[in-house]
Every structure is written in C-alpha cells, then in structure tokens.
Amino acid sequence: MATYNTGFSKFDRSQRIKYITDNGSLTTEEATGLYSYDAGEPLVQQVFGEMIENYIGNFPLPMGILPQLLINGERFMVPFVTEESSVVAAAAKAAKFWATRGGFRAEVVSMTKKGQVHFTWNGAPHLIQALFPNIQLKLLQETEALTKQMNQRGGGITAIQLLDKRAELTDYYQLDLSFETADAMGANFINSCLETIAAALQKLPELNSGESKVEVIMAILSNYTPDCTVKCKVECPVEELSGWGKELTGQAFATKFKQAVDIANLDIPRAVTHNKGIMNGVDALLLATGNDCRATAAAVHSYAARSGTYKSLSTIQLTENMFRYEITLPLSVGTAGGITRIHPMVKKALTVMNNPDARQLMMIAAASGMASNFSAIASLVTTGIQRGHMRMHLSNVLNQLQADLPEREKAQHHFRGKTVTYSAVEAYINEIRRTL
Ligand code: MEV
C-alpha cells in the first residue's frame, strides 16, 4: 500500500511521474506517454509546466470552429473546445440557419461584479453606521495602489456598502463592493482589493478600541453576477422556420419549440438539461479563450434559480406571425489577464475572433449558447438528437476499436441511417476482420 508522500509538490516532473508509476497502476511505458503531448516550443512547454502545481503532463482537447456566427451584423469565426461530439456541428448548423434570418442580436446590459468582506463587530450598531461614510473613504484610500492601473483602463471600485446582517448571524456585517474590471474577468484584482480592505478594517482605531473589535471572517469575490449580464435574441417570421428540416411546417415547428421552452420553464429536471444545452456552446468558447468555466457555471445556474425556482435561461414569444427567442446570461469573462497572454491556443482563439474585448466576448458567448440551445431544441422536437450524436459517436467507437481506413469507410457506409451502438459497431468490425 502506497504511503502518502508529503514531499510530492517539491519533486520535479520526472520524480512525480516516477512516484505515480511506483505507487499506482500506470506502467513505466504508459507514463512515458505523458511526455508525448508536450509542446514543441520549450518556452510554451514551460508555461504549461508552471501553470498548476504537481504538473505531470498536458491534456489535449479538440478545438473546432463555427465558421460564421452573425452577431449585430458582424460575422465571427468562433473557436469551440469540447470533448462532446456534435456540439460544434449543432451550433454551426444553428449559426448558419440564423445567418440568413438576420443573425443574433446581442447587447451587454451591465458588467458590474461584486465581492464582500464578511466580518463581525461587537460594538454599538448605530456607531458603525454613523462612522461608515468616513471609514469608507479610508478603506478606499488603502486600495489606491491596486486600483490605479484599473482606473486608467476605465475600471475600479465603483461602490461600497455596509450591510447589517445581525438578524442572520450574531454581530455579522458585510462590506459589499461593486467593481468594474474592463477587459479582465478581474478575480485577482477584486480579491486583492478585498483582502487589502479587510486588513485595513481590522486596524481602524474607530472600530477597534476598548471592548469593540472587528473580526474578519473572509474576503472574497462573489461568483453570483446578476449585474454582469448579456442578452441575446433571434427572431423571424414563423413561416421561415420551415427551413430547419423537412419534418415540420414553420408553424408546427414554432408551436413545438415553444412547448419545449415552456416545459423548461415549468419543470426543473427539463430546465437543467435545457440550460446544459446552452452551456455546451458557452463553455466550449470559454474553454477556448481560457476563461473560468466553473465561475460562469456557478453564476449561470444560480441566476436560473433567482426567482426561487430553477428555470430555463431562455424565453420565447410566439405570435401568429413572429417567432422571438431570447436568452439572458450572467457572464463574467475576460479577454485580458489570466492566461490570455500566455496560453498559445488561447491567443490563437482570440486572434481567430479578431481579438474581441470582454464586452464582445460576452455577446459571442451568449450567441454561441443560444445557437447550441436552438439546435438542441430544434432537433429534439423533430428528428431527436441521437441521429447527429451517433454520427460523431461512430468515429469515437471506430477509434476505440482501432479501425483502419478501409474499415472506417465500410463502417461509415454501413451505419448510414442506422442506429449506432458500441456493440453493433464492434460486431460489424469483427465481422469484416473475420472475412478478410
Ligand atoms: C446534450 O449535450 C445537450 C442536450 O441534452 C440539451 C437539451 O436537451 O436541450 C441535447
């Protein structure tokens, strides 16, 4: 039984790899394969090796492109990174469909982010309230060195509020701060400001004398970003929806589509999957651009539950003649800072899109999410999704079976229009191999 080695983080890469082969099931030969995904350029490889702790190797994922996403009249080529077959194909199909129907209309509503200093204070409540205007100025002064550059880029701390939370927890108060972070997602900037303010708060003589004392519990940004939102919509005359597939008339398609969205608004199990379909596109773009998908997932799903019930992130309006579909997403994303300047593929992804700013990236992400979701619902209410999924799934199964080119061609031909399962493909390939 392997013992836990507390010196692991001090090891160099080859020692770490040796450790995991000595203490686990990975063979030495398999472990050598960890080097095969190293970047060709030493400096780039160094970036990967220093990006996280306990690094052992790179983990490639495929990057694909939506060739045309029309947003507010401007065409974007959009990079997607995803492990899921058919996400790119689905979004690209919807993007193409809407490109001939006016495209996506997107608008950033606001880009305010928040963070809080959580603390207790045992003094007289009216006193802290009375002192707050003065305290606030002192605290902001403490952050000047940090905010100087951000102010020059049009961002900074835009508000600071004292919230009395004693009804919820003994002596508990919050400093609730609002930030604008220009083209950065801003997590480091926000957290640095909050920690500086927290340290200053604990030292303020007016709050820390005699028996009264500030105890900071924590200082951290909030990933709940309901004030950092982007709206995106598509609309067209109902009859133009007949262009999606041959299965339904425009009217029948619109009616079923609306029913599907209505269901996502009234049924939580469906709402979660519906919203996951939106995030297929959003996350694929955010991964490609080096953004924090965990933060946006937390934001988006909590936003979907802001009414007290988890609901669809999209809404639909169907009149006799017009189909209008809209989405609002809270997306705190960046095109500067983080790994945007150091990750070679992120740099390429941003260049492919003509180096958007954060505001544009929010719009591209919302349109990508909408394209993914539109395609999913359109397939669900017509052919079902398995047809598209399975075409891509076939390639994955053939790769697992290590099929060669002739076998692949035969299988592609054989499974056209048929149901693809692992066992069916395996049986077919075995049959070909037997008859050779
Ligand atoms: C699959 O990745 C996403 C879908 O399940 C989304 C949906 O059901 O709306 C197809």
**Domain residue limits, the chain:** 8-49, 69-109+229-383, 113-222, 389-434
Average pLDDT, the chain: 95
Q: Name the band, by pLDDT with cuts 50, 70 and 90, for residue 169.
A: very high
Task: Give the pLDDT confidence score for residue 57 in this predicted structure.
Answer: 97
Question: Catalytic residue numbers?
Answer: 84, 292, 389
**CB within 8 A of 37, min separation 6: which ones?**
57, 58, 59, 60
Q: Using CA positions, which residue lies closest to atom 10 of ligand 1? A: 376
The mean per-residue pLDDT over the stretch 232-261 comes to 95
Q: What is the Cα–Cα distance from 308 to 330, expressed in whole angstroms? A: 17
The yes-or-no verdict on residue 3 having pLDDT over 70 is no
Residue 163 burial (10 A CB sphere; 0-12, 13-18, 19+): exposed
Nearest ligand 1 atom to the CA of 264 is: 9
% pLDDT > 90, the chain: 90
DSSP-derived letter for residue 8 is G
Q: Which of 382, 372, 335, 385 is nearest to 69 (CA)?
A: 372
The yes-or-no verdict on residue 2 having pLDDT over 60 is no
Distances (CA, A) of 185 to 252, 280, 329: 42, 20, 15
End-to-end CA, the chain = 47
Tokens of 434: 């037997």
Residue 329 sits at the vertex; the CA angle it makes with 328 and 333, to the nearest 5 degrees, is 145
Q: Name the band, by pLDDT with cuts 50, 70 and 90, for residue 418.
A: confident
Q: Name the band, by pLDDT with cuts 50, 70 and 90, for residue 94.
A: very high
Q: How far is the CA of 221 from the centre of ligand 1 (A)?
A: 31
Q: What is the Cα–Cα distance from 264 to 311, expressed in whole angstroms? A: 6
What's the pLDDT tens digit per position in 338-348? Answer: 898 899 999 99
Topology classification of domain 69-109+229-383: 3.90.770
The yes-or-no verdict on residue 1 having pLDDT over 60 is no
Q: What is the Cα–Cα distance from 229 to 110, expressed in whole angstroms? A: 6
Decide: 79 in ligand 1 pocket, CB within 6 A: no
Q: How far is the CA of 131 from the centre of ligand 1 (A)?
A: 53
CATH code: domain 113-222 is: 3.30.70.420
What is the sign of the dihedral through the CA atoms of 224, 232, 311 and 96? negative
Comparing 46-50, 96-100, 122-126, 244-248, the range with the smallest average pLDDT is 244-248
Decide: 276 in ligand 1 pocket, CB within 6 A: yes
The yes-or-no verdict on residue 382 having pLDDT over 90 is yes
Nearest ligand 1 atom to the CA of 385 is: 10
Q: What is the Cα–Cα distance from 320 to 251, expressed in whole angstroms? A: 9
Q: Name the band, by pLDDT with cuts 50, 70 and 90, for residue 269.
A: very high
The mean per-residue pLDDT over the stretch 248-257 comes to 96
Instruction: Kindly list the strands in the beta sheet with 214-221, ordered across the sheet, starting from the edge strand earlier in the chain.
Output: 156-164, 172-180, 113-121, 214-221
The yes-or-no verdict on residue 55 having pLDDT over 70 is yes
Decide: 277 in ligand 1 pocket, CB within 6 A: yes
Number of other CB atoms surrounding residue 270 within 10 Å: 16
Q: Which of 82, 265, 272, 274 is the pocket-test mutation for ligand 1 (most atoms within 8 Å of CB)?
A: 274
Q: Which residue has the higher pLDDT, 148 or 389?
A: 148
Residue 189 is inside which H or E element, if any? helix 187-203
What's the pLDDT tens digit per position in 172-204? Answer: 999 999 999 999 999 999 999 999 999 999 999
Q: Name the band, by pLDDT with cuts 50, 70 and 90, for residue 4.
A: low
Decide: 389 in ligand 1 pocket, CB within 6 A: no
Which of left, alpha, beta for 154 (phi over 0: left; psi -120 to 50: alpha)?
Answer: left
Alpha-helical (H) ranges within 268-357 are 268-288, 293-304, 344-352
Dihedral (Cα; 136, 139, 140, 141), 10-degree rounding: 120
Q: Using CA positions, which residue lies closest to atom 6 of ligand 1? A: 277
HSE of 186, CA atoms in CB hemisphere, 13 A:
34
Q: What is the Cα–Cα distance from 274 to 279, expressed in whole angstroms? A: 9
Instruction: Decide the pairing of beta strands 105-111 and 156-164.
Output: unpaired
CB 158 within 8 A of CB 179: yes
Decide: 274 in ligand 1 pocket, CB within 6 A: yes
Decide: 376 in ligand 1 pocket, CB within 6 A: yes
The yes-or-no verdict on residue 42 having pLDDT over 90 is yes
Number of other CB atoms surrounding residue 259 within 10 Å: 14
